[in-house]
Amino acid sequence: MMPDGGQSSQDSRRGRGGRNQRRESRAQGGTGVHRPYIVRGIPTCDILSEESLARIEATAARILAEIGIELREDAEAMRLYREAGAEVTETAPEVWRLKFEPGMLHEILKTAPAEFTQHARNPANNVRIGGRNVVFAPSYGSPFVMDLDRGRRYGTIEDFRNFVKLAQSSPWLHHSGGTVCEPTDVAVNKRHLDMVYAHIRYSDRGFLGSITAPERAADSVEMCRILFGADFTDQNCVIMGNFNTTSPLVLDGVTTAGIRAYAAANQGSIHLPFLLGGAVAPLTIPGMVAQGLAESMASCALTQLVRPGAPAILASFFSSMSLRSGSPTFGTPEPALGSLVMGQLARRLNLPLRCAGNFCTSKLPDGQAMQQSMMSMMSAVQGGANYILHSAGFLDGLLSMSYEKLVMDTDMCGALHAYLDGMTVDDDTLAFDALAELGPGQHLFSTQHTLRHYETAYWESALDDNQPWETWDEQGGLDYAQRANARWKKLLAEYEAPPLDQATDEALLDFIARRKGEVPDMWY
Amino acid sequence: MMPDGGQSSQDSRRGRGGRNQRRESRAQGGTGVHRPYIVRGIPTCDILSEESLARIEATAARILAEIGIELREDAEAMRLYREAGAEVTETAPEVWRLKFEPGMLHEILKTAPAEFTQHARNPANNVRIGGRNVVFAPSYGSPFVMDLDRGRRYGTIEDFRNFVKLAQSSPWLHHSGGTVCEPTDVAVNKRHLDMVYAHIRYSDRGFLGSITAPERAADSVEMCRILFGADFTDQNCVIMGNFNTTSPLVLDGVTTAGIRAYAAANQGSIHLPFLLGGAVAPLTIPGMVAQGLAESMASCALTQLVRPGAPAILASFFSSMSLRSGSPTFGTPEPALGSLVMGQLARRLNLPLRCAGNFCTSKLPDGQAMQQSMMSMMSAVQGGANYILHSAGFLDGLLSMSYEKLVMDTDMCGALHAYLDGMTVDDDTLAFDALAELGPGQHLFSTQHTLRHYETAYWESALDDNQPWETWDEQGGLDYAQRANARWKKLLAEYEAPPLDQATDEALLDFIARRKGEVPDMWY
């Protein structure tokens, strides 16, 4: 039920290759060595009692049984839910209300894997999603991009490629994400081809495909068949789609058709209610969580009706609201608590979780941005989220993808590697000998213990300034955002694309050219 | 043993007057209503197993028994420790090595209160320290002050008064702190009088007194006798001193004489090892924690030898080190983990804990400052620290007290009130009716549940910008630091001193004038 919560001796477990890889990272000047993903070495932060969790689950069950979920314009999904036992009522043409007996969705979800591998084209970058594993991916879905030099502007395919490259450059991300920004200079009905191609070409990590239309989902999977082979793709998760419910309590047919496409191809899918309290969900967190659980379970279940065993990720995105403006507020304490609870619920369901990320509402990569991000991101990692989208770049309530914030956030992701590693308590780390060697009043700089550990004891930021004030001042007195500005430019300048088999590349480009040629451009 | 850890139903407990006071805060425009202190509504974040904790305790016991603590130049303290059973060896003139049998300090510390009240001159601001209580106090000890207009400069008594006023203005701090900055324009041997007076005059909350010399500690207590009356002061904690050990493993006589002065007067004391890994402690966190525990226990024990029952606070200040420069690094993940463990250990000892705070090394109130602060501060509140010094204003590794950061940090402290409140899971917050009222696809803006809760559901920042980008841009596009700059000026302009009895005020001023006249100024 609670694989990693509460009081246990799990503090002695460590992430894959933790210390050794960190030692190696120091040899490379502190920039860090990529780990394919994190295996958490500390327990989750569980704030609710069994009794309270059971009450939230009971409310979710009641929502599903008594209010139900509205399904729009997907007769095939309706048929699948009905055959599985849902009570279906047509409330308008092509609109159905689905009601689920308590326990029915739990039963259906039993075939969904608690943990699965998403394969990357570089097998060293395969990620395990679920259980004690944590995967960081960059932010997703911003129409604008932003940097200190050019300010805010609509995203382009060039920005998209830059963000894929910057994410690939970071040792502290594990996954290339999906719509790292909207490439608004490419036709709406064709941009998915360029986006998927950019992930394949400029990254060798796992990525997300298109979900904005069923045929775009199919194209995304088809490009993976070219990359991985059709048989391998049929038997393994090589791509995932991130699907939003239409809260409150609606699944629209474009979404469900996309979910069906990914599941039929045995590919992964994320089932995300985006809940703004007071707008599309109750303001109070327990109610928001209950609704989110109900929606995500109903959406996840569809995958198992299409293809039992297809990977599905439970998900939540909680947001509070400004009393004064009605605007969403991110990085606030109440949604952070909600995310911790969502972690507890996902473990009880035995499903992987996507939750929270580096959320903020700030318009600039300033103190507000980082304070809010940290509040939100800590809830994700402490709550036990397994796949953390929006781990880097998130600015202005997701409206902007920020070049500077991306490198700030990836640096923070590095710190979170060390945090999630926890600590090993043994004779060496307890270091009695280090104190005994010279005794009271004597500095430990030169002790054997210090010499043995100083290169590996601490995570080292690539971006923080820790120098004496005078040195910092002499070097120009730059603030964090200015240093981040220099850093992303350096990373882009030094970026080298991972090798891609030339025949595969040509096949992908041929596919894209053919698909683009089949239909005229659409811009909405 | 673990009053608030692990799986429990404590999530239904709430801070004193939580909801009602928060409602009131909305009526006052979101600035918040002061609570005297927080009573945590969420469990602590416990990362180590019983077995690992026992190993750390055993190492601390071994340090105390086999290496021991060096005591310098306080024969009276030496006598007290020896009479209590310590093995004492004189290793040089006026230098003694104290060794403690395992279990001896635990036994001595049994008379120290697990929880106590520090009285404020306004009884509504009395704070409970220990147990589930959390008290926030501003930063302590910076020689420099900093603001965006004038940059970094040495602190003055005017800055000191300003910081006391700004702290008093915040509803989210609970205590006035101590040396909020060094007033370097007042003679070293007299500034304690002006500092204590500023706390009494410009705040009506609890505060810390001087510890830099035994006679200054005595003056601090004497001023409290004038303020609270001698009998009340003898029977109640009305002031505390913050004492540092001289790590590794040394107690110097100025410190122990100060500790004895506070304890003899039945006043509180904080026992803080400031541990920089690799310099004055092992680099590895378990060893650093074991040493910190040993030092703080030895220091705390002295209070009970002087006056059993005198309040004593276990404390820790952990810092990592930059590999490249050897500089201390703050707000990093490893010390954050150490602080969580220190919380577990303090609860096993049944002593109140001071731990961590809004630590950072950034020179400016920028993204680095707030990200590091949040990492550190979260460890304090999640680990169950009871008295959190350095909750506001900390910049540049404690070298600067920042006007802007102070208001940023106090705003964050507001968020942490909501975070520590946790959530109540009941029919009202589960909000089934809110969803049922309009059903799928309908916004909840106008539901009864939303109307009933919208004023109180969420903490509201006084400093964050949550507006649409266009509005923010039209209003000047200010960043977080610029808004903080405007805010502290506004708060200082609007500040009103809490009333102070005139006779008391005159008596205090007379005392100060007399004490200042007795000795010449000293500037070192």
All residues at 6 or more sequence positions from B462 whose CB lies less than 8 Å from its CB, including other chains? B30, B31, B32, B411, B414, B487
Residues of B in contact with A333 (CB under 8 A): 415-416, 418-419, 459
Cα–Cα nearest to B207, from B266, B127, B293, B304: B127
A366 close contact with B: CB closer than 8 A: yes
pLDDT tens for the 524 residues of chain A, in order: 233 333 333 333 333 334 334 433 333 333 467 899 999 999 999 999 999 999 999 999 999 999 999 999 999 999 999 999 999 999 999 999 999 999 999 999 999 999 999 999 999 999 999 999 999 999 999 999 999 999 999 999 999 999 999 999 999 999 999 999 999 999 999 999 999 999 999 999 999 999 999 999 999 999 999 999 999 999 999 999 999 999 999 999 999 999 999 999 999 999 999 999 999 999 999 999 999 999 999 999 999 999 999 999 999 999 999 877 888 999 999 999 999 999 999 999 999 999 999 999 999 999 999 999 999 999 999 999 999 999 999 999 999 999 999 999 999 999 999 999 999 999 999 999 999 999 999 999 999 999 999 899 999 999 999 999 999 999 999 999 999 999 999 999 999 999 999 999 999 999 999 999 999 999 98
Phi and psi at residue A208, to the nearest 5°: -105, 145
Q: How far apart are CA A18 and CA A23, in angstroms?
A: 9
The pTM for the full model equals: 0.95
Q: Mark out the alpha helices in B229-282 (DSSP H runs).
A: 230-235, 253-264
Question: B412: which 2 tokens?
Answer: 């964050």
Q: How far apart are CA A351 and CA B317, in angstroms?
A: 39
Domains in chain B with CATH codes: 106-419 (3.20.20.480)
Residues of A in contact with B282 (CB under 8 A): 429, 431, 434-435, 444, 449-450, 453
B151 close contact with A: CB closer than 8 A: no
Whose tokens are 């602190």? That residue is B155
CB contact (8 A) between residue B327 and residue A286:
no
Which residue type is seen at A410? T
**Distance to chain B for A426, nearest Cα, Å:** 8
Q: Is the pLDDT of residue B147 over 70?
A: yes
What pLDDT score does B4 carry? Answer: 31
Average of per-residue pLDDT across B355-373? 98
For residue range B23-69, what is the model confidence (pLDDT) as tens digits? 333 333 344 678 999 999 999 999 999 999 999 999 999 999 999 99
Using a 10 angstrom Cβ sphere, with 0-12 exposed, 13-18 middle and 19 or more buried, the burial of residue B95 is middle
Partners of A272 in beta bridges: A244
CB contact (8 A) between residue B69 and residue A440:
yes
- Of all residues in chain A, what percent are helix, strand and coil, respectively (each to 5)? 45, 15, 40
Of B4-18, B356-370, B503-517, give the lowest mean pLDDT range: B4-18
Q: DSSP secondary structure string, A278-344?
A: TTTB-SSHHHHHHHHHHHHHHHHHHHHHHSTT--EEEEEEEEEE-TTT--EE-S-HHHHHHHHHHHH
B368, B395, B427, B463: best mutation site toward chain A, by most A Cβ within 10 Å?
Answer: B368
Average pLDDT over all residues of chain B? 93
In chain B, which among 346-365 make CB contacts under 8 A with chain A? 361-365
For residue range B428-462, what is the model confidence (pLDDT) as tens digits? 999 999 999 999 999 999 999 999 998 999 999 99
Which residue type is seen at A269? S
What pLDDT score does B31 carry? Answer: 44
Closest residue in B to A364 (Cα) is B479
A52 close contact with B: CB closer than 8 A: yes
A282 close contact with B: CB closer than 8 A: yes
Q: How confident is the model at residue B2 (pLDDT cuts 50, 70, 90)?
A: very low
Q: How far apart are CA B261 and CA B238, in angstroms?
A: 14
CB contact (8 A) between residue A284 and residue B428:
yes
Closest residue in B to A466 (Cα) is B361
**Distance to chain A for B165, nearest Cα, Å:** 23
Whose tokens are 């520090």? That residue is B118
CB contact (8 A) between residue B47 and residue A328:
no
ipTM score for this prediction: 0.94
A249 close contact with B: CB closer than 8 A: yes
Q: How confident is the model at residue B19 (pLDDT cuts 50, 70, 90)?
A: very low
Q: Which of B368, B378, B442 sits opposite A378 (nearest CB)?
A: B378
Q: How far apart are CA B371 and CA B373, in angstroms?
A: 5
Phi and psi at residue B325, to the nearest 5°: -110, -15
Residue B476 DSSP one-character state = T
Angle between helices A191-202 and A502-518 (to 10 degrees): 170
Cα–Cα nearest to A376, from A404, A355, A396, A351: A355
Strand ranges for B32-188 from DSSP E: 38-39, 69-72, 87-92, 95-99, 115-118, 127-130, 133-136, 144-147, 151-154
Q: Is A201 helix (H, G, I), strand (E, B) or coil?
A: helix
B481 close contact with A: CB closer than 8 A: yes
Q: How confident is the model at residue B196 (pLDDT cuts 50, 70, 90)?
A: very high
Closest residue in A to B444 (Cα) is A279
Q: Is the pLDDT of residue B378 over 60?
A: yes
Which residue type is seen at B54? A
Q: How far apart are CA A198 and CA B182, in angstroms?
A: 56
What pLDDT score does B32 carry? Answer: 61
CB contact (8 A) between residue B337 and residue A42:
yes
Question: B213: which 2 tokens?
Answer: 């010399």
Residues of B in contact with A454 (CB under 8 A): 278, 283, 321, 323
Phi and psi at residue B240, to the nearest 5°: -135, 155
What pLDDT score does B171 carry? Answer: 96
Q: Mark out the alpha helices in B211-332 (DSSP H runs).
A: 214-228, 230-235, 253-264, 285-306
